[in-house]
Amino acid sequence: MTANQYLEMYQRSIDDPAGFWSEIAETFYWKQKWSPEEVCNENLDVTKGPIKIEWFKGGKTNICHNAVDRYVEAGDGAKIAMYWEGNEPDQDGKLTYSELLDKVCQLANYLKSVGVEKGDAVVIYLPMLMELPIAMLACARIGAVHSVVFAGFSADAIAQRITDCKPKVVITCNAVKRGQKLIPLKDIVDASLVESAKNGVTVGICLTYENQLAMKKEDTQWIAGRDVWWQDVVPNFPTRCDVEWVDAEDPLFLLYTSGSTGKPKAPNYPDPGRCWDIVDKYGVTIFYTAPTLIRSLMRDGSVYVDRYSRKSLRVLGSVGEPINPTAWRWFYNVVGDSRCPISDTWWQTETGGFMITPLPGAWPQKPGSATFPFFGVQPVIVDEKGREMTGECSGYLCIKNSWPGAFRTLYGDKDRYETTYFKPFSGYYFSGDGCRRDKDGYHWLTGRVDDVINVSGHRIGTAEVESALVSHPKCAEAAVVGIDHEVKGQGIYAFVTLVDGVPYSDDLRKSLIMAVRSQIGAFAAPDKIHWAPGLPKTRSGKIMRRILRKIASRQLDELGDTSTLADPGVVDQLISLSDS
């Protein structure tokens, strides 16, 4: 797509959103079309009444049918729907659309047989097995609402979700291996069901997939009458299941957002070249990841990347946090061989899709910029009083219109939904992110606005300081938080992870501080640099800045729940190094 084509299409999406999105919707299958008057009903202004976002209300469709059935019906049933890559490089699998449809229908029929109906909830606690998307699609097929919980989350975290949505069924597997570590998922679910029962919520069925690559049946704890082996029941059901046609505004899933920046840890088993092995093995054309993973790969240099051709790659993608220019250039030059454009996308769990994103080849790239808005999205930058700013500016990023993928509410808490996202600036969706727009109209995400530090009257985005630190050739990753300062109001506390093999030293500390001073200014120089072998991240790779703030301020008795961390031991390491 050229820049002119983008501008023409984007302008139409803004001038006539109902017509634009109706044309997009027409590319899907609808059992019953929506009425032209019901394409969009919205109110984003709390002063005018309750927040309302509705698209295509009255239209009847089904996500599972659109994702699977229509391909089979079109004669593409023999095409590959998904590939699966296991823990070990020689563990893999694949499903055609026809095979996928059969397995989805069998599970859907089983769920119906145990009383799961339209609108009922199902909690899914599965690792990256093919049974995970099968379970999601089966729920969608019968109109059930699924809530996917990242495999490895604590029993307390699962219990909270079970208590919230009161599922009729929990779907899990007995265990999974991550690298050389065994994670007994079924044991974690068992503990969560004990906790949720204390909250008055009991679950009648725990459907458990036997993951033979990790654990055998006989080694799995079992509760008769509640626990059911997937392989014992699901394959016995018919491979055809009628679709439940649902309204466009019926709920599809519940998804928790972590509310922090950061993203996934690199797949590095059995070595840091695993990503590129997968790229070559399957002929991957689009590699979409996050700055955290990119920086993690940078620590190992280019040696593992250069072992593989990566010739199939066409586009690289980044998501989850602002990508600093150093990581962007490494990604572009080393991984993409200076030929693959990078789509540095901005979106959120709440938005349901891209909001600001480059379109490969449409315009010149600027390392670290999310560039321009996606079709139908009207981003605005406002000041503290909610006034829209034009031209080159910096402020709070808001969206002034609704879009089909927007989340409709916070489950069970409509008041907090309105208070958090719509009351800060009436008439807008408030993203919680800061944004800078340059003279060319490019958007630069500056991080969460609650990650702004006020140092002697200077408002400094933590992402700016982190980017300056990571630009240092010996710094692999950095996370910055604010601490109380008796003179400046707030000081800057930086957690720094060095490139592998680089020792900590006072000279290096001074060099890092100088990097910040030279790029931003003396006022942004860190007051404290805390050497960090690793940063506390959730299983999904989110950096837990709340924990970093507590460590920095020495509020060690207020760390809160650390069970969702990928490596809880990192916290103890950081505490032990806090005075070094």
Query: Is residue 338 domain-shared with residue 463, that is, in the same domain?
Result: no
CB of 175 closer than 8 Å to CB of 215: yes
3-state class (DSSP) for residue 85: strand
Whole-angstrom Cα distance, residue 409 to residue 78?
Answer: 39
Q: Do 271 and 125 have their domain in common? A: no
Residue 354 lies in a domain: yes
* 202 CB-contact burial (10 Å; exposed 0-12 / middle 13-18 / buried 19+): exposed
CA atoms within 13 Å, Cβ hemisphere of 54: 18
Residue where one domain finishes, among candidates 394, 422, 443: 443
Structure tokens at 302: 């280019």
Query: Helix and strand tally (H, E) in the chain?
Result: 18, 27
The residue segments making up the domain with residue 483 are 448-576
Domain co-membership, 329 together with 411 = yes
For residue 263, what pLDDT band results from cuts at 50, 70 and 90?
very low
Mean pLDDT over 247-261 rounds to: 77
Residues 192 and 287 in one domain: no
- 273-310 residue pLDDT tens: 999 999 999 999 999 998 878 888 888 889 999 999 99
Whether residue 199 sits in one domain with residue 69: yes
Calculate the CA dihedral of residues 331, 335, 340, 342 and round it to 10 degrees.
Answer: -20
Q: Do 88 and 125 have their domain in common? A: yes
Residue 417 within any structural domain of the chain? yes
Question: What is d(CA 153, CA 295) in angstroms, rounded to the nearest whole number?
Answer: 24
The dihedral sign for the CA sequence 253, 125, 180, 154 = positive
How much is the mean pLDDT over the chain? Answer: 92
pLDDT score of 449? 81
pLDDT of residue 457: 65
CB 554 within 8 A of CB 517: no
What pLDDT score was predicted for residue 560? 75
Give the dihedral sign, CA 238/243/244/248: positive
- Residues 222, 271, single domain; the answer is no
Mean pLDDT of 373-402: 96
The domain total for the chain is 3
Residue 147's pLDDT is 96
Examine residue 43 and state whether it is found in any structural domain, yes or no: no
pLDDT in tens, 406-457: 999 998 889 999 999 999 999 999 999 999 999 999 999 987 787 778 787 6
Residue 264 pLDDT exceeds 60: no
pLDDT at 518: 82
pLDDT reading at 261 higher than 70 = no
**Averaged pLDDT, 314-343:** 91
Angle between helices 569-576 and 545-552 (to 10 degrees): 30
Q: How many CB atoms lie within 10 A of CB 564?
A: 20
Please compute the mean of the pLDDT values over residues 530-548 and round it to a whole number. Answer: 84
Distance CA 387, CA 227 (A): 56
pLDDT tens across 456-465, in order?
Answer: 767 677 888 9
**Can you say how many angstroms the Cα of residue 151 is from the centroid of all Cα atoms in its chain?**
14
Query: Do both 205 and 341 map to the same domain?
Result: no
DSSP string, 127-182: -SSTHHHHHHHHHHHTTPEEEE--TT--HHHHHHHHHHH--SEEEEES-EEETTEE
Domain boundary, last residue among 217, 244, 271? 244
Find, among 577, 493, 486, 580, the residue nearest to 534 by Cα. Answer: 577
Q: Which residues are tagged catalytic?
A: 450
In whole angstroms, give the CA distance from residue 192 to residue 162.
8
Residue 382 lies in a domain: yes
If asked whether residues 353 and 377 sit together in one domain, one would say: yes
- DSSP string of 232-294? HHGGGS-S------EETTS--EE-----S-B-PPP--SSSTTHHHHHHHHHT--EEEE-HHHH
3-state helix, strand and coil shares in percent for the chain, rounded to the nearest 5: 35, 25, 45
- Model confidence band, residue 259 (pLDDT cutoffs 50, 70, 90): very low
In CATH, what number is assigned to the domain containing residue 281? 3.40.50.12780
Instruction: Name which of 19-33, 239-253, 551-565 the model is least confident about.
Output: 551-565
Residue 437 falls inside a structural domain: yes
**CATH classification at residue 500:** 3.30.300.30
How far apart CA 411 and CA 296 sit, in angstroms, is: 35
pLDDT digits (tens, 9 = 90+) for 92-147: 999 999 999 999 999 999 999 999 999 999 999 999 999 999 999 999 999 999 99
**Is the pLDDT reported for residue 266 higher than 70?**
no
- Binned at pLDDT 50, 70 and 90, residue 509 comes out as very high
pLDDT digits (tens, 9 = 90+) for 151-208: 867 788 899 899 999 999 999 999 999 888 899 999 999 999 999 999 999 999 999 9
Arithmetic mean of pLDDT, 57-77: 98
Rounded Cα distance between 332 and 362, Å, is 17
The answer to whether position 31 is within a domain reads: no
281 and 377 together in one domain:
yes
In a domain, 7, yes or no: no
Lowest mean pLDDT segment, chosen from 418-422, 512-516, 569-573: 569-573
Looking at the structure, do residues 205 and 290 belong to the same domain, yes or no? no
Tokens standing for residue 503: 């020792």
33 found inside a domain: no
Q: Give per-residue pLDDT as tens, 16-39.
A: 999 999 999 999 999 999 998 889
| Amino acid 260: pLDDT | 34
What's the average model confidence in pLDDT over 482-499? 89
Residues 423, 460 within the same domain? no
3-state secondary structure of 72: helix
